[in-house]
Amino acid sequence: MDIDFLKSQLEDHDQSQLLWYWESLDKDSQEKLYNELKHLEFSNINGYFKQAMEDLKHASDKIDNLLQPLPTEVCGSVTGSSPEELKEYNRIGLEEVGNNRVAVLLLAGGQGTRLGVPYPKGMYNVGLPSKKTLYQLQAERLLKLERLAKQQTGKHCTIPWYIMTSEHTKQATDDYFKQHNYFGLEKENIILFEQGLLPCIGFDGKIILANKDKVALAPDGNGGLYRALRKWNILEDMEKRGVTNIHVYCVDNILVKMADPVFIGFCRTKKAECGAKAVEKTVPTEAVGVVCKVEGHYQVVEYSEITVETAELRRDNGQLTFNAGNICNHYFTLDFLKHVSQVEQENQLKHHVAKKKIPFVGDDQQIVKPTEPNGIKMEKFVFDVFHFAKNFAVWEVLREDEFAPLKNADTAAKDTPTTCREALLSLHHRYMLDAGSKFIHSDGSSLSDIPCAKKAKESGDCQKSENDDQFNKCEVSPLVSYAGEGLEDLLSGKKLVPPVQIVMGPSDITPSIIQNVTANGTTN
């Protein structure tokens, strides 16, 4: 340890407070802190901080004048496409998958502070009848998609799954997949890598100590992806495998259609190097980023960056002018990823700043948990590379089919385990109805197809209010159906007593129906 050199470095960068407790540390702690500090690039960090504070000054500035709507030729939607077009996109996407040209890239390095569990979000079980976690659902969707692609192309194929973790999630994620035998996927096709961290900084520009021997560090945002791709040679690995299309997504969307062939087929048809899935904004004031153009470049603009007047603008057909709500579901070609991951491009992505309550060591050497924000975290965002895209595509999907994120604990009103569970079970209920099944009570009397809305139930207008809970308990294993397809043979004309689970088994190609399952898993 060259402590004198470190000391002088810290002095040069006005960060000497990081060694305040040095003399009181034992040898191991000194070594730990030294190793952490040795890797920090103080000059860069101070530069980021300066820029961040400048950005904070302009946080309320609006950019309405710079906004341009998306050109219609880059847009497409599920509802605006004919069944033939959707079938063709699906065919193109499956062809890519079948030829081993598709990979999925999961952003799973976040700390999940709002959900507040001490393990990675992907390991969360939202309380489905099957008790499957987000990771298990995702693994099974991949397995099923590989089988569907094989059916179309006749070729055995693999969709490599790249998972970006961080110091906070790597070990637990690794252990979890091992414990579950990779959910039937090949171990070598699940590639974990780690994103970088950045120190949290007080409003005075001083890096915060979380502990006497530990700097307060946080992941550098999901846009830390590009740096991490470089560091871990991930793009070389993709190239070796022949991957040319990459689907990037967030861990917390329970409805995510991984490597969605329709989305891939659409982006390829548009010859896009970069694409985004979007959902229509519900109301002008919904706090969601919108995909649009800013001064000629594609960008996601946060709700806070525009005025309500701009958010309320409408086209002739009544739709909001800026209505493409970003759901962090992106398509990239390998060439595009290679380009934007170069140092030159990556350095141009700015850090977004968030004021946070950051625990720190107080004067009495105890940890203080502040009640007000005392510093900032800096993060890059994955979608900021849209700026570099020349050929872009936006694919609008139905929110109820594709987007239900897990952000908060059940004490919150939205994006909770409950809303995620309900979204998935309601989608699967629709899959079963579409496949031709009917739902009945255990005495044989029929259940209406559409559950009562809460309001009708409260006002007493709804006769069937007792059925709502049952409707919300229809689950289809992803091993049986990726997106509602292939259920007709099993379900058409069937009268089912909910709760119903469609599972794979007894063999791994024969699905079966489990009806009227009680809370403890037994069948009545």
Which residues make up the interface to ligand UTP (CB under 6 A)?
A: 107-114, 121, 164, 195, 219-222, 224, 250-252, 379, 407
DSSP type of residue 150: H
The minimum distance between CB 124 and ligand UTP, in angstroms, equals 11
The minimum distance between CB 205 and ligand UTP, in angstroms, equals 22
Return d(Cα 435, Cα 484) in angstroms, integer. Answer: 8
Nearer to ligand UTP, 222 or 310 (CB): 222
Nearer to ligand UTP, 305 or 379 (CB): 379
Nearer to ligand UTP, 138 or 472 (CB): 138
- Say which residues have a Cβ less than 8 Å from residue 117's Cβ, sequence separation at least 6: 124
Nearer to ligand UTP, 213 or 379 (CB): 379
What residue number has its CB nearest to ligand UTP? 110
The minimum distance between CB 219 and ligand UTP, in angstroms, equals 3
Return d(Cα 262, Cα 255) in angstroms, integer. Answer: 15
Nearer to ligand UTP, 110 or 499 (CB): 110
Return d(Cα 516, Cα 50) in angstroms, integer. Answer: 61
Return d(Cα 154, Cα 170) in angstroms, integer. Answer: 36
The minimum distance between CB 145 and ligand UTP, in angstroms, equals 20
The minimum distance between CB 314 and ligand UTP, in angstroms, equals 29
Query: Long-range contacts made by residues 49-57, C-beta under 8 angstroms, separation at least 24?
Result: 49/201, 49/205, 49/376, 49/378, 50/205, 51/350, 51/351, 52/201, 52/351, 52/353, 52/376, 52/378, 53/205, 55/350, 55/351, 55/352, 55/353, 56/353, 56/355, 56/376
Nearer to ligand UTP, 370 or 521 (CB): 370
Nearer to ligand UTP, 110 or 275 (CB): 110
Pick from 516, 511, 465, 520: which is nearest to 495 by CA?
516
The minimum distance between CB 405 and ligand UTP, in angstroms, equals 7
CA angle 202/205/206 to nearest 5° reads 70
The minimum distance between CB 107 and ligand UTP, in angstroms, equals 4
Residue 109 and residue 165 in contact, taking contact as beta carbons nearer than 8 Å? yes
The minimum distance between CB 111 and ligand UTP, in angstroms, equals 4
The minimum distance between CB 216 and ligand UTP, in angstroms, equals 14
- Say which residues have a Cβ less than 8 Å from residue 350's Cβ, sequence separation at least 6: 51, 55, 380, 384
Peptide bond into 506 cis (omega under 30): yes
Return d(Cα 330, Cα 276) in angstroms, integer. Answer: 5
Nearer to ligand UTP, 129 or 219 (CB): 219
Return d(Cα 144, Cα 147) in angstroms, integer. Answer: 5
Return d(Cα 28, Cα 34) in angstroms, integer. Answer: 10
- Say which residues have a Cβ less than 8 Å from residue 434's Cβ, sequence separation at least 6: 484, 487
- Say which residues have a Cβ less than 8 Å from residue 181's Cβ, sequence separation at least 6: none
Return d(Cα 502, Cα 369) in angstroms, integer. Answer: 47
Return d(Cα 125, Cα 136) in angstroms, integer. Answer: 9
Nearer to ligand UTP, 75 or 278 (CB): 278
Nearer to ligand UTP, 195 or 477 (CB): 195
Strand partners for 376: 201, 355
Instruction: Report the 10 Å Cβ neighbour count for 298.
Output: 25
The minimum distance between CB 59 and ligand UTP, in angstroms, equals 18
The minimum distance between CB 513 and ligand UTP, in angstroms, equals 33
Nearer to ligand UTP, 228 or 306 (CB): 228
